[in-house]
Amino acid sequence: MKKLQLCALFLCAALWVSAQNLTQPTGGGNQTCGILQRVGITDIEIRWNAPGVKGREGKVWGTPVAHYGFQNLGFGTAKESPWRAGANENTTISFSTDVQVEGKPLAKGKYGFFIAVYPDSCTLIFSKSSTAWGSFFYKPQDDALRVTVRQQKNMPTSREWLGYEFSDPTENSAIVALAWEHWRIPFRVSVDLNNTVVSAMRRDLESTAGFVGSNWQQAANFCLQKNINLEEALSWADNSLGSFFGTETFTNYQTKADILTKLNRPAEAEAAMQKAISKATIFELHGYGRQLIADKKPAKAMEVFQANYKQNGDTWPTHVGLARGYSALGDQKKALEHAKIALGQAPDDLNKKNLESLIKTLSEGKAIN
């Protein structure tokens, strides 16, 4: 009995040892590679095994190295296989959000990447099967997307090792290209940035990020600046003000007021802005007044500067604001009076120098805004 148990033990040990693989370099002299690029908030990752030209200049494309079209490779289950766009295992490409490839939609996920190469065009194939070895088991029914592009041939410098690269990045697109020997096969990947960001923020606000009031304001403000998703943005602005994590601040109320303005609800916008003014600091009110001047609303700006003076009293920022307000209304004499008062209250040399410059301009009868 003991002898039988000992034999079984040795057999299990032998099987365990035989199942272990040593860590070794990639076979065949190929290189294991990967690259990552972010477009907007979308991560694009490509992983491949890179073959080398290895003296086969002019004998790569349209040969067994990178065959044309679909061919029976004599192994595996596929009767017609495209080129595997690399060596060894599947070349894979993954997208963390939905994207468009050459203008055609492709859902987020990880794909096996193949190319049907032809003399003057290339059909790019994004397959739902990403774990196979090469294209020996390729199934057309697994295709998620096919797009056709034109390759660039006769590149001036031969590239020894097959590589993928990104170029021409923008906030919502990038060019991806396979480069090998004298060929380059480019294709554009683009994202719907605004909708992608809104979807991500929506998910974030349902998680622990939603317990931070400022996150609701930031999400609302993003939509405001992009002029998208305004109804939901209004609810986000309300959440930044209400519930147990919200705070009633100038910024939060101003964001709400600006969204209501874009939604053509002027009475509600005005009420929200009055709330904002009542919560503002002296410098927030001053900044808002200057914003109104820049927006060519001098009368409204003057109301804000006067509210600042009423709320915060006889101080240099409120007098500077009144000086700018009167100047915007064309009353340079009144503006000069307040600028001189502010000069006597200025807390440091920098502000004094700025005020002296304003006073000089006003003394010449010129506007300071």
Amino acid 229: pLDDT: 97
Amino acid 22: pLDDT: 61
Same domain, 204 and 334: yes
CATH number at residue 275: 1.25.40.10
Amino acid 316: pLDDT: 93
Q: Residue 160's domain spans which residues?
A: 28-191
Q: Is residue 22 part of a domain?
A: no
Same domain, 149 and 224: no
What whole-number distance in Å separates Cα of residue 29 and Cα of residue 33? 13
Give the count of beta carbons closer than 10 Å to the beta carbon of residue 307: 19
Q: Encode burial over 21-32: b for 16+ CB neighbours within 10 A, e otherwise.
A: eeeeeeeeebbe
Amino acid 34: pLDDT: 96
Same domain, 309 and 346: yes
Amino acid 31: pLDDT: 85
Same domain, 129 and 218: no
- Give the alpha-carbon dihedral of 128, 131, 135, 140, to 10 degrees: -20
Amino acid 243: pLDDT: 66
Element holding 197 (H helix, E strand): helix 193-205
Same domain, 175 and 278: no
What whole-number distance in Å separates Cα of residue 153 and Cα of residue 139? 29
Residue at which a domain ends, from 158, 191, 224? 191
Q: Is residue 87 part of a domain?
A: yes
How many structural domains comprise the chain?
Answer: 2
Amino acid 279: pLDDT: 93
Amino acid 11: pLDDT: 38
310 token code pair: 């009423």
Amino acid 245: pLDDT: 80
Same domain, 172 and 250: no
Edge-to-edge strand ranges of the sheet holding 104-106: 104-106, 99-101, 183-190, 173-181, 159-167
Q: What confidence tens digit (pLDDT) does each residue in 222-250 have?
A: 999 999 999 999 999 999 998 668 899 99
Q: What is the pTM of this model?
A: 0.79
Residue at which a domain ends, from 191, 214, 242? 191
Q: What confidence tens digit (pLDDT) does each residue in 240-295 have?
A: 998 668 899 999 999 999 999 999 999 999 999 999 999 999 999 999 999 999 99
Same domain, 291 and 184: no
Same domain, 207 and 125: no
Same domain, 137 and 224: no
Same domain, 215 and 241: yes
pLDDT less than 70: residues of the chain: 1-29, 243-244
Which of 41, 37, 38, 45 is closest to 195 using CA atoms?
A: 41
Same domain, 71 and 155: yes
